[in-house]
Structure formats: C-alpha cells, structure tokens
Amino acid sequence: MTRYQKTDILIGSNNIERLGFNSTKTELEMIDLAIKNKCPIITKAGYSGKWYLKGKDKSLDELKTKINIDLGKHRDGVYIILIE
C-alpha cells in the first residue's frame, strides 16, 4: 500500500457507494472494504471528507499513470491509498 498526499484520481468514478462512505469510518475499515470489493484506490476527500473506493477493473499501470499526473494537485487533507 502506498499513500499519495494531495492527490485524487478518477473523480466522479466511484465504484462502490456512488455518494461515498461516511467520514466516521476508519482507514482500516476502508482498506478492508476496498480489498473485499477489489477496488485498488481509496480516496479520503479532506480532513473531514468522505471516503471513496475507485479503480475497479483498472490496471495498476493505468492507475499509477493517473497518480503521477495528479500528484500534489489537491488541497491539504486529500489523499489516496493505492493497494497493490
């Protein structure tokens, strides 16, 4: 797992829970859900923002390319976790 600060990809392309998961969920809960649902990207949309699961059926190479393009372009508190 790798964390990328100030980064978000696939905006609007949420695979599970289209409107996101409540911000009260823990990072560990989201990791478990991501693995269960085969979503390699977990997004936290800010310090008190919602969680999103993304990237289902996308290749790791495609996701890494999108991460490199977007790296550091978002506000503080926004981050993604890439599960490989």
- Residue numbers of the domain that contains 44: 2-82
Domain count, the chain: 1
Q: Which residues pair with 2 in a beta bridge?
A: 82
Q: Is the Cβ–Cβ distance between 4 and 79 less than 8 Å?
A: yes
Residues listed for the chain: 84
Q: Whole-prediction pTM value? A: 0.90
Per-residue pLDDT reduced to its tens digit, 6-50: 999 998 888 888 899 999 999 999 999 999 999 999 999 999 999
Token pair recorded at residue 66: 């999108």
Q: What is the CA radius of gyration of the chain?
A: 11
Per-residue pLDDT reduced to its tens digit, 38-61: 999 999 999 999 999 999 999 999
CA distances from 37 to 5, 16, 19, 73, 77 (A): 23, 8, 16, 27, 24
Residues 6+ apart with CB under 8 A from 65: none
